[in-house]
Amino acid sequence: MMESLANLMGGFAAALTPGNLLFAAIGVLLGTAVGVLPGIGPAMAVALLLPVTYAFDPTGAFIMFAGIYFGAMFGGSTTSILLNTPGESASVMAAIEGNPMARSGRGAQALATAAIGHFVGGVFGAIGIVLLAPLIASVAVNIGAPDYFAIMVLAFVAVAGVLGASRVRGFASLAIGLTIGLVGLDPISGQARLTFGVPQLADGIDVVIVAVGLFAVGEALWVAAHLRRTHQEIIPVGRPWLSRADVKRAWKPWVRGPFIGFTFGSIPAGGAEMSTFMAYVTERRLSKHRDEFGKGAIEGLAGPESAASASSAGTLSTMLTLGLPTTAIAAVMLAAFQQFGIQPGPLLFTNEPDLVWTLIASLFIGLVLLLLLNLPLAPLWAKLLRIPRPYLYAGILFFACIGAYAVSGQAVDLLVLLVIGVVGFVMRRYGLPVLPAIIGVILGPDAELQLRRALQIADGDVTTLVSTPLAITVYTIIAALLLFPLIRKASRTKVDA
């Protein structure tokens, strides 16, 4: 504990240098913009920036990425509240209570509730990382290849089979991602897989191209097919502020939100979406003003918003300590770590203490910057929504192409980008979620490596996979996740008959 505090102080010393402060500032500015703007999310933004950051030192790059992640949460609520269409999936809940508030002339209070909620949630979440992450890392140091493989399978099953409306479509998306991840030379044996003799495919399809193709190009093509021609009304508001009565109603949800958010953010259960939903349900149950829910109850905005930012912290905690991404942006950040030759996981805290603690300290700094940027300036940020859509999506395609080209300097990569963009388009058209695919691409090769390593160590004895208590527990959870809906279906049929 004392050691963590000392490390954190060291982190602050490093994070407060001009260079790192600049990265934090750029990150939160970009993040807020990305959060406000439709069509572009934090995962896409980080993927687009990956090729640019090769030249930076990794600490600066990750400070910027974390700023984008948290900034997108702040900005996303602004769009949700003023436009009634969430800028990010994490801010769906903000629209439910925030937009009615804005419609009834309480937009300024709604923006303030959301911004302070994100700040409180983010700070609680960052404290959670300081307290829990070193603990988790020290426990996880002893887990071996069979455990890792089991946890990764759990992540696959959770994102593909539990989230989303259709299991078969979730798993189809996962399989597409795993297949893309398979292309190239096998790292252990050096044999070519799915390269069809094309030399360019021997290195595999770069994660940047896959992520940018699925997110940016797929989204641009999808919007092109269904571009909204009608103008959406943005509710005008003044400077955000809160009355004493508002604060009195909002402070408990602000404090409760982080506990829900951090927990659900750190397990593979849908990141901010699940966290905000659970926080909303909780606040509705606990509220004395239950009749106001759906019509602009401030509790229903305060709780989910603080849960959203805390869930980002929880997601970061799991990504740093276990190397396990639970959301799309965590998956892209994991890919970024790999590009820098750093392996997130239990050893990260011992191998790269400076990077980790500077990053954690910069979370606090970034949150203060975000509160300063968003509390007074939210109406100004909302002006970004006026950008003509042809320019917005032309810009997204433009930076997607630069990102893809910068990976290896070959124009052919733009064609690969387009093909993956078309895959992203088809997935959006037919309701295949994008998240399982991106987790499959990034985590798939790792999972295979862990599986083969486990079998190498055990001389091919398959029982090694279930030789530890942790692995057995994880497989039990996986079985429960897979079987539960089937059992429920069966029992319902029985009742019907």
Partner 1 sequence: MTITEERPVERAGWWRAHSELGVSIVLGAVGVLVVVDTALESGGSVSDPLGPRAIAFVLGGALLLLSALLAVDVLRGGHGEAEAGEDVDLGTPADLRTVGKLAGVLVATAALIPILGWPIAGTVLFWGAAATLGSRTPARDVLIAAGVSLVTWIVFDGLLGVDLPGGPLMGVFGA
Is the CB of 251 or the CB of 391 nearer to partner 1?
391
Is the CB of 241 or the CB of 430 nearer to partner 1?
430
Give how many residues touch partner 1 by CB under 8 A: 80
Compute the distance between CA of residue 41 and CA of residue 45 in angstroms, rounded to an integer: 6
- To partner 1, the closest distance from the beta carbon of 129 in angstroms equals 30
- To partner 1, the closest distance from the beta carbon of 191 in angstroms equals 5
Alpha-carbon distances, residue 339 vs 52, 58, 254 (angstroms): 12, 10, 37
178 binds partner 1 (CB under 8 A): yes
- To partner 1, the closest distance from the beta carbon of 249 in angstroms equals 29
Sketch the per residue contact string, 44 through 63, with partner 1: x for CB under 8 A, - otherwise.
Answer: -------xx-xx--------
The piece of 115-123, 243-251, 361-369, 410-418 that touches partner 1 (CB under 8 A) is 410-418
Compute the distance between CA of residue 157 and CA of residue 72 in angstroms, rounded to an integer: 27
Is the CB of 119 or the CB of 425 nearer to partner 1?
425
Is the CB of 398 or the CB of 484 nearer to partner 1?
398
Residues 120-159 that bind partner 1 (CB under 8 A): none
Is the CB of 5 or the CB of 490 nearer to partner 1?
490
CA-nearest of 68, 90, 72, 128 to 262 is 128
Compute the distance between CA of residue 154 and CA of residue 146 in angstroms, rounded to an integer: 12
Q: What's the per-residue H, E or C state across 283-331?
A: HHHHCCCHHHCCCCCCHHHHHHHHHHHHHHHHHHHHHHHHCCCCCHHHH
Exactly one of 151, 216, 269, 432 binds partner 1 (CB under 8 A); that residue is 432
277 binds partner 1 (CB under 8 A): no
Is the CB of 47 or the CB of 297 nearer to partner 1?
47
198 binds partner 1 (CB under 8 A): no
- To partner 1, the closest distance from the beta carbon of 444 in angstroms equals 9
Exactly one of 6, 394, 466, 480 binds partner 1 (CB under 8 A); that residue is 394
Residues 338-367 that bind partner 1 (CB under 8 A): none
Report yes or no: 465 and 149 within 8 Å, Cβ to Cβ.
yes
The piece of 165-173, 259-267, 330-338, 480-488 that touches partner 1 (CB under 8 A) is 165-173
C-alpha dihedral sign at 140, 144, 145, 150: negative
Exactly one of 285, 388, 494, 495 binds partner 1 (CB under 8 A); that residue is 388
- Report the phi/psi class of residue 105: left, alpha or beta, with left for phi > 0 and alpha for psi in -120 to 50: left
Exactly one of 418, 470, 477, 481 binds partner 1 (CB under 8 A); that residue is 418
Exactly one of 9, 431, 479, 489 binds partner 1 (CB under 8 A); that residue is 431
Report yes or no: 378 and 111 within 8 Å, Cβ to Cβ.
yes
Alpha-carbon distances, residue 35 vs 27, 29, 65, 98, 300 (angstroms): 12, 10, 13, 16, 20
415 binds partner 1 (CB under 8 A): yes
Report yes or no: 345 and 321 within 8 Å, Cβ to Cβ.
yes
Is the CB of 1 or the CB of 165 nearer to partner 1?
165
Exactly one of 16, 25, 33, 169 binds partner 1 (CB under 8 A); that residue is 169
Structure tokens at 106: 């309480």
390 binds partner 1 (CB under 8 A): yes
- To partner 1, the closest distance from the beta carbon of 380 in angstroms equals 19
- To partner 1, the closest distance from the beta carbon of 194 in angstroms equals 5
Q: List 184's β-bridge partners, or say none.
A: 193
Burial state string for 233-243 with b = 16 or more CB within 10 A and e = fewer than 16: ebbebeebebe
Give SS3 for 450.
Answer: helix
Residues 435-454 that bind partner 1 (CB under 8 A): 448, 451-452
Structure tokens at 364: 């606090």
Could you tell me the end-to-end alpha-carbon distance of the chain, in angstroms, rounded to an integer? 59
Is the CB of 111 or the CB of 130 nearer to partner 1?
111
232 binds partner 1 (CB under 8 A): yes
Compute the distance between CA of residue 244 and CA of residue 463 in angstroms, rounded to an integer: 62
Exactly one of 199, 230, 231, 463 binds partner 1 (CB under 8 A); that residue is 230
- To partner 1, the closest distance from the beta carbon of 37 in angstroms equals 10
Residues 456-475 that bind partner 1 (CB under 8 A): 456, 459-460
Exactly one of 21, 252, 395, 475 binds partner 1 (CB under 8 A); that residue is 395
CA 372 to the chain's CA centroid = 23
Compute the distance between CA of residue 90 and CA of residue 217 in angstroms, rounded to an integer: 21
Exactly one of 10, 12, 179, 475 binds partner 1 (CB under 8 A); that residue is 179
Compute the distance between CA of residue 96 and CA of residue 284 in angstroms, rounded to an integer: 12
Report yes or no: 156 and 331 within 8 Å, Cβ to Cβ.
no
Q: List 192's β-bridge partners, or say none.
A: 185
222 binds partner 1 (CB under 8 A): yes
Residues 87-116 that bind partner 1 (CB under 8 A): 87
Alpha-carbon distances, residue 142 vs 29, 270, 470 (angstroms): 39, 27, 11
Is the CB of 230 or the CB of 493 nearer to partner 1?
230
201 binds partner 1 (CB under 8 A): no
79 binds partner 1 (CB under 8 A): yes
Structure tokens at 414: 């733009």
493 binds partner 1 (CB under 8 A): no
